[in-house]
Amino acid sequence: MPLAARRALARRGLLALVALLVVVVATTGGAALGLLTATTTASARAALGGTDPAALVVTTRVADDPAAQEAGLTAAVDDLFGGAPVRVARTESAAEGDAPFVVWTLTPDLSALVPDDLAGLAAGSVALRDTLRQDDAVAVRGITVTGDLGERAAVELAALGAARAVVTVPLALLLLVSLVALAQVGRVLAGARENEVEILVARGASPRRLVAAAAVEAVVVGVPAAALGTGLAALLLTGRGPWTPGPPVAAGAVTALAAVAVLTGVVAAQARAVAARGARDRSGRLRQAATAGTVVAVAAVALLGLLRLRSLGSPAVPGGQGVADPLAAAGPAVALVALGLAVLVLLGPATRAWATLAARGPRLTGVLVARRTARGLRLAVVPVVLLVLAIGSAVLAGAYAGTEEAAREGAAVQAVGTDVRVAVPGPGTAGAMLGPSAPPPDATAFAALPGAAAAAPALVGDATVQGEDVGATALPADAVPGVVRTPGAATIADPLRGTDPFAGAPVLPDDASGLELVLAGSVTPDLAAAEIAEVQDADVAPTVAVTLWLVAPDGTLTVLDAGSPALGTAGERTRLSVPVEDLPAGSRLAAVGLDLGPAVVPTRVDVRLEALTARTAAGEVPVDLDAGWTPVGTAPADDLDDGRVPRFTTTLTSPAPSWARLVAGSSDPGPGVPALVTDAAAARWDATAGDVVEVTWAGTAVPLEVVGTVAEVPGQSRAAAVLVDLGTLDAALLRTAPGLPRPGEVWVAATSPDAVPALAQDAAATARAAAPEPGTVTVTTVADAAGADAGSPVRLVFLVVAAGAVLVALLGLAAVAVTTTAGRRAEVVVLRALGVPPRAQGAGRALELGVVAVAGTLSGLLAGGVVAVLAVPGLVAGVVPGTAAPVAVLPGPVLVAVLAAVGGSAVVAGAVAAVVAAQARDTDYRPEVR
């Protein structure tokens, strides 16, 4: 023990750095695990809490034995929810003449909720209804279970599972940095004691005794340092969220064990090597061969890890909830080590070439620095590898943060499609059909809001192709560049622009406040063909309801109810008056609709629009009706001579209602509605440009002509989706469907990102003022669609690991500086005798460290960039699925890490320069310089 104490005191500077290294590793590991626990717990509580807490509502009749009913529910909750903290509130509602209802409201106890409880909440919510229905003591005459607790818990469970799988990458990096740092600093300490060990072995000390002494020393140094690091981690975590002491304590314990094991193992290897050393071993050839083998082995593992990561698409095991593939998770960290070792391999020839060139120069300092650096690469391993890992970690942290932020924003932009998306459902249901009671939303009102650059109506929903669901978006093609915010919006809708489907339709005056129609027609039942008993006391004339379909310049259709004229058998003329409000400029009459009632007996119907007059401020303006009119619908139309006037004749024989429209414009609608389909949809349908695909949209089969493919469709999160022009779609549905789906949304583009919050508020107010049911209005922005940031735990852990790795690298550099300063004391005397000034010696020694630090920093930037390009897309895809954002580096972490590395290296180099200069000025006799 006295000998061990004297040996420790002789190297107290290095041992102090080893202790600091253990402190930093324990602090970094504890802070990383603590932040991971805190952020995931906070995320889980936020997902199920907030202004609209998740809940399940169980409703049934009160049983004859309420106590047994309550006990049955409680037992089912305890059994199904796996111990998750759930609060149950019970209420009763009175019922006249019948047993009252009992309502249990199940909400999670957020103060006690942890991420592991999400699985129990999700599974229990799914199974609760069936379980309670089978318990007669609980379910009385049926039971209902409603609420979103299970769905929200399942979504958050999947998000946190993905984050847990990805977070293993920075944790693996931290583990590797820690092991490399401990091993390399242990080697530096062992190298400084090599002469002592040789003397002790020569005097009879056994390797086992040396190992035992080293183990005691490692315990004395490592355990208190790890405890101190754990305390610092707990201090850093104070106020950072709901963390528990378990993870930091576990990190500290692992750090202490690793420190003792690594430091003891290094000494054991050294003692055995010294005891068995021969002449051939001193040549260094075996060491060089082992180093080459290490480089090849590490490179092979790194390559396999990166290939595994890219093949899986993320570190997560397919089908495993939050389970990471070990090889894929370790791939980026091992790749950084491999690139750091490759730098060392290249550093040898580079420094020798530098020494050769410096020898030709006039300055002695440059030659000494170059030659000493070339010959001292064994010590350069420590700072170079650690700096490569540290700066590479910072680059990975910045690349992950920047790419994940871009991916989340891109996914949100893709899901929303524009800056502000306003949904204004029609009366009754969100899928209301166009009609006088459910007109399309007025996009011009939103375009006039402060901060709005453009606005357009949108029809967004689901369709089916071959029985499979696809996302469907219909927008005015000309408005897409102005309102869509996804990449490529300026040209995405170009293939959708075609001929005007209502070319030649009658144009209405812009300031029309009403329309006057003159109808001539007759409804003539064929009583001779009917049995008198069937028509006795019956009104055999079917009703005829007239509607006007107006089309705005953006393709939006509006339906006006013209009423049901009383048409007799003599062909009387009828005048109908239709009020018009806020008619868009350039509107045209697209079609005249006829809704025909059932025909009790065969009936001849003849309806002709003879005149149309618009009421304006300047008086009545006649509308020219001389256009091409095509009859469509379920009522069979008779052939007309030229179709230049809006006239419809038919013989009704069906007892069911029917409909007909006289559509203005071309009679040839083409093979289908031009559509852009996603790459995934084209691959699923095996469709190429020019193919026609039948889509069932709003209950009607619509042929779509594929005119191109896109990666994604604005406003759709589905991989398989289609985009069409709203006007062209309406023109097609106008010919085939009795009812057209109402564009229930308005997409509003902002003049700048800063204007979005205020614009969203104004758009919500405008929509609620116009909506028949203001509570149904929803406004969505990109910030709303982004939702909870499931990648924040990964991002925080990456940043903590990068910060800890930089500190570890600087401590490694300091350890090398302390070792070389003490070990080269005799060299200072020789150079002083040769006339090298003290300041020149200090500057040369500082330059040596500077060269190593710069090489490690630059190599770390390069290595981090390479690994980021290969690994970060897969890491981001694990947290933000379905995205393919290019790698974008957030410069903050990288800049801070580089400045810290450069600044710390400068401080260490300056301290070494000062010590060496002081040694050169010291002329006293000392034993170590004999």
The pLDDT tens digits of the residues spanning 816-859 come to 787 777 667 777 777 777 677 777 777 777 877 888 888 889 98
Same domain (yes/no): 432, 315: no
823 domain-assigned: yes
CB burial of residue 801 (10 Å; 0-12, 13-18, 19+): buried
Angle between helix axes 825-833 and 792-823 (nearest 10 degrees) is: 50
Range(s) of the domain holding residue 698: 425-494+670-776
State which of 147, 168, 202 marks the end of a domain.
147
Same domain, 835 and 919: yes
Residues above pLDDT 70, as percent of the chain: 85
From 700, 590, 726, 556, select the one nearest 634 (Cα to Cα): 700
pLDDT of residue 898: 92
CB of 145 closer than 8 Å to CB of 73: no
Across 580-589, 706-715, 760-769, 877-886, least confident range:
877-886
Please give the Cα distance from 856 to 846 (Å, whole number). Answer: 15
pLDDT in tens, 644-654: 778 888 888 87
Look at residue 358 and tell me if it is in a domain.
yes
Task: Please indicate, yes or no, whether residues 141 and 162 belong to a single structural domain of this protein.
Answer: no
Q: What is the CA radius of gyration of the chain?
A: 40
Q: Which of 776, 809, 842 is the last residue of a domain?
A: 776
How large is the angle between the packed helices 117-133 and 149-192, nearest 10 degrees? 150
- Examine the domain organization and report whether 720 and 763 are in the same domain: yes
Is it the case that residue 281 has pLDDT exceeding 60? no
The pair of three-digit structure tokens given for residue 722, joined into one six-digit string: 């289609």
**b vs e for 326-360, b when ≥16 Cβ sit within 10 Å of the residue's Cβ?**
ebbbbbbbbbbbbbbbbbbeebeeebbebbeebee
Residue 501, domain member (yes or no): no
User: Beta-carbon neighbour count of residue 913 at 10 Å?
Assistant: 21
pLDDT at residue 85 tops 60: yes
Mean pLDDT of the region 114-119: 87
**Same domain for 623 and 479?**
no
* Per-residue confidence (pLDDT) for residue 228, from 0 to 100: 92
371 with 348: CB under 8 angstroms? Answer: no
Mean pLDDT for the chain overall: 81
87 in any annotated domain: yes
* Cβ within 8 Å of residue 887, ≥6 positions away: 399, 402, 403, 868, 869, 872, 873
Tell which of 776, 811, 837 closes a domain: 776
Residues 406 and 454 in one domain: no
Q: Which candidate, 596, 599, 620, places its Cα nearest to that of 518?
A: 620
What is the rounded CA–CA span in Å between residue 619 and residue 642? Answer: 32
Q: With CA atoms as reference, report the closest residue to 794 among 888, 886, 887, 877.
A: 877
- Cα dihedral 194, 196, 202, 207 sign: negative
Cα gap 443→746, rounded to integer Å: 6
Tell whether pTM > 0.85: no
Residues 660, 685 share a domain: no
Q: Which of 336, 181, 17 is nearest to 808 (CA)?
A: 181
| Region 776-782 average pLDDT | 81
Do residue 823 and residue 903 come from a single domain? yes
How far is CA 663 from each of CA 272, 504, 506, 592, rounded to the nearest angstrom? 97, 11, 11, 7
How sure is the predictor about 277, in pLDDT bands with cuts at 50, 70 and 90? low
Domain-located, residue 185? yes
Q: Are residues 594 and 679 in the same domain?
A: no
646 and 728 inside one domain: no
Q: Do 86 and 104 meet the contact criterion of CB atoms below 8 Å apart?
A: no
Write the CATH number for 106.
3.30.70
User: What does the chain come to in residues?
Assistant: 930
Query: What percentage of the chain has pLDDT greater than the value 90?
Result: 5
Q: What angle do CA 905, 906, 911 make, to 5 degrees?
A: 100
Alpha-carbon span 438 to 444, nearest angstrom: 17
pLDDT at 288: 45
pLDDT band at 533 (very low <50, low <70, confident <90, very high): very low
Q: CA quadruple 70, 73, 75, 77: dihedral positive or negative?
A: negative
Q: What is the 3-state secondary structure (H, E, C) of 794-809?
A: HHHHHHHHHHHHHHHH
660 and 683 both lie in a single domain: no
Tell me if 61 is assigned to some domain: yes
- Regarding whether 322 and 175 lie in a shared domain, the answer is yes
The answer to whether residues 847 and 926 touch, using CB atoms and an 8 Å cutoff, is no
Q: How far apart are CA 166 and CA 393, in angstroms?
A: 15
**What string of H, E and C letters represents the secondary structure of 885-911?**
CCCCCCHHHHHHHHHHHHHHHHHHHHH
In the chain, the number of structural domains is 4
93: pLDDT strictly greater than 70: yes
User: Taking residues 98-123, what's their average pLDDT?
Assistant: 86
Comparison of pLDDT for 244 and 519, the residue scoring more: 519
> Which of the four pLDDT bands, split at 50, 70 and 90, describes residue 322?
low
Q: Per DSSP, what are the bridge partners of residue 675?
A: 706, 724
pLDDT at 450: 92
Q: Give the H/E segment covering residue 631.
A: strand 629-633
435 vs 713, higher pLDDT: 713
Q: How far lies 413's CA from each of 399, 401, 420, 792, in Å?
A: 20, 18, 10, 19
CB atoms within 10 A of CB 898: 20
3-state SS, residue 682: helix
Q: Is the pLDDT of residue 899 over 90?
A: yes
- Lowest average pLDDT, out of 289-293, 314-318, 359-363, goes to 289-293
Residue 508 counted as domain residue:
no
Least confident of 141-150, 365-374, 751-760: 365-374
Angle at 466 between CA 460 and CA 471, to 5 degrees: 20
All residues at 6 or more sequence positions from 509 whose CB lies less than 8 Å from its CB, including other chains = 614, 616, 621
Instruction: Kindly state whether residue 499 falls inside one of the protein's structural domains.
Output: no
Average pLDDT over residues 594-611: 86
Contact criterion met (CB below 8 Å) for 42 and 788: no
**45 pLDDT exceeds 80?**
yes
